Amino acid sequence: MSANYKRVLIKLSGEALQGEQGYGISPHTLETFAGEIAELQRMGIEVAIVIGGGNIFRGVAGSTAGMDRTSADYMGMLATVMNGIALQDAIERLGVPTRLQTALEIKEIAEPYIRRRATRHLEKGRVVIFGAGTGNPYFTTDTAAALRAMEVQAEVILKATNVDGVYDSDPRQNPEAVRFERLTYLDVLSKNLRVMDSTAISLCMENDLPIIVFDLNQAGNIKRVIEGEDLGTLICPNPR
Ligand code: GTP
């Protein structure tokens, strides 16, 4: 099967890295994900990744616990950098070159985010990992994913989650929940479906950037999605 996309942006939540252990980074989950990324790179797909930090620290949780929201969000951004370093290490151990770029400058650890440089890295076959979200408090890493996808002209956002798509209610609580195969951006906003926050969805809508939400825990799913298999939920301007 041939690939449907040449350049993709994968949004990986921090929680997706914690595996069964419920916090932090599961070495097994990390290695499995790195293996799938390495396979894409070897297929000639250009891969950018935006990583979340919720497995280490969640800004919103910090602020609801009484912390200043800005401070809590900066801690969340630092958590994404830690995940980014772990991911970079895991992918490079498989012999695939990567570059980590951060929206907050931490030069000793990573390159600062420079759009043209990121694009160049992608062209050269390096997996580019974006850390520290957008570098601004009050913006989620989903919004960072939408923004970076547009900036590097990715053709699609692949949102890897712990459920196999978007449902009309929480499938973990409601066994009758129905999965949507296709949705418009407006459906997501008007039905208040919790796929991505509304800032991220609006950005994708204004720029006609499709999003595919799929289950990361099923081995080989990223490749299947890229090869056009009908997995998860597709969010696009005009679903069939
Ligand atoms: P080309 O210019 O296409 O060859 O890309 P390159 O990334 O290989 O070039 P460069 O010589 O800029 O980078 C070499 C290594 O240094 C890479 O691993 C980069 O990620 C890293 N690097 C570059 N700039 C920075 C920085 O500001 N901070 C950190 N920590 N590493 C950097």
The shares of helix, strand and coil residues in the chain, as percent rounded to the nearest 5, are: 40, 20, 40
Regarding the beta carbon of 197 and ligand 1, being less than 6 Å apart is answered no
Going by C-beta distance under 8 Å and a sequence separation of 6 or more, which residues neighbour residue 74?
59, 104, 137
Alpha helices, DSSP H, located in 46-161: 59-64, 69-92, 115-123, 141-151
Q: Domain extents for the chain?
A: 7-235
Residue numbers belonging to the annotated binding site for ATP: 11-14, 54, 58, 161-162, 167, 170
Ligand 1 centre and the CA of 8: distance in Å?
22
Domain 7-235 grouped into CATH 3.40.50.12780: no
Regarding the beta carbon of 116 and ligand 1, being less than 6 Å apart is answered no
pTM: 0.95
Residue 232, Ramachandran bin (φ over 0: left; ψ between -120 and 50: alpha; else beta): left
Contact 39, 220 (CB under 8 A): no
Report the half-sphere exposure of 58 (CA within 13 A, side-chain side).
11
pLDDT in tens, the chain (240 residues): 678 999 999 999 999 899 888 899 999 999 999 999 999 999 999 999 999 999 999 878 877 889 999 999 999 999 999 999 999 999 999 999 999 999 999 999 999 999 999 999 999 999 999 999 999 999 999 999 999 999 999 999 999 988 889 999 888 899 999 999 999 999 999 999 989 999 999 999 999 999 999 999 888 999 999 999 989 999 999 866
| Residue from 85, 92, 99, 121 whose mutation best tests the ligand 1 pocket (most atoms within 8 A of CB) | 99
